[in-house]
Amino acid sequence: MKHLFLISFLAAFFSSGAYADGPIYRCGNEYTNTVSEAQKSHCKLIEGGNVTVVQGFRPAVAPPVRVAAANPGAPRVDAAGQKARDSDARLILEAELKKVESRQSDLMGEYNNGEPEKRGDEARNYQKYLDRIAELKASIARNESDMAGIRRELVRVSAAK
C-alpha cells in the first residue's frame, strides 16, 4: 500500500511538467527550458544540479498614499492670535513642569536615598519592601523623563517666537 502511494505520487509528479527533461536556461531571475526563448533573450545554460522553481505570487501594488493639502478655505490665524496661543501653551507647559517637579521632590523624599522607611505590612515581608523601592526608582526615572520632555517643549515653544 505504501509503495503504491509512492509510485502514484512520483508518476503524477513527473507527468505534471514539474520536472524538466532537458537543458535549463537562466534569463536574469527567470528560468526556462524552451531553447527558442533562451536564444532570443541570450540566456545562460545551467549545467549540473537540479533547478527547482516555485511560482510565487506578486502582491497587489497599493495605490500611492496622498497627503492631504491644507484646506485653502480654512480660516488662517493672524499673528496676534498665534502669539496668544503660543503664550497659552508656554503657560500650560510651565504649570505642568512645576507640578512634575513637585511630584519629583515628593518621590525623592519618600525614596530617601534608596532607604525608604518601612511600612507596617513590609516589616515581615522584605520582598514587598524591595518591590516598593523598585517601583519608586521607576517612578523617579519616569518623572525625570517627563521633566526633560516638558523642558524640550518649552524650548521649542520659546524658539517659535
Q: Tens digits of per-residue pLDDT, 30-43? A: 878 888 888 888 88
Indicate whether 43 and 83 sit together in one domain.
no
Is 63 part of any domain?
no
Mean pLDDT of the 97-110 span: 95
Is 150 part of any domain?
yes
Indicate whether 154 and 93 sit together in one domain.
yes
Q: Which residue has the higher pLDDT, 19 or 75?
A: 75
Mean pLDDT of the 43-52 span: 75
Is 1 part of any domain?
no
Indicate whether 108 and 44 sit together in one domain.
no
User: Which of 99, 93, 101 minimizes the C-alpha distance to 152?
Assistant: 93
Is 61 part of any domain?
no
* Exposure string for 95-127, b = 16+ CB within 10 A, e = fewer: ebbeebeeebeebeeebeeeeeeeeeebeeeee
Is 138 part of any domain?
yes
Mean pLDDT of the 40-69 span: 73
Is 24 part of any domain?
yes
Rounded Cα distance, 125 and 129, in Å: 7
Is 64 part of any domain?
no
Indicate whether 110 and 154 sit together in one domain.
yes
Indicate whether 108 and 41 sit together in one domain.
no
Angle among Cα 3, 6, 9 to the nearest 5 degrees reads: 150
Indicate whether 36 and 88 sit together in one domain.
no
The one-letter code for the residue type at 27 is C
Indicate whether 147 and 84 sit together in one domain.
yes
Its pTM stands at: 0.50
What's the structural domain count of the chain? 2
Angle among Cα 123, 129, 134 to the nearest 5 degrees reads: 175
Q: Tell me the pLDDT band of 155, cut-offs 50, 70 and 90.
A: very high
Range of the domain at 125: 79-159
Rounded Cα distance, 31 and 111, in Å: 70
Handedness of CA 127, 128, 129, 132 (dihedral sign): positive
Is 58 part of any domain?
no
- pLDDT 10s digits, 118-130: 988 888 899 999 9
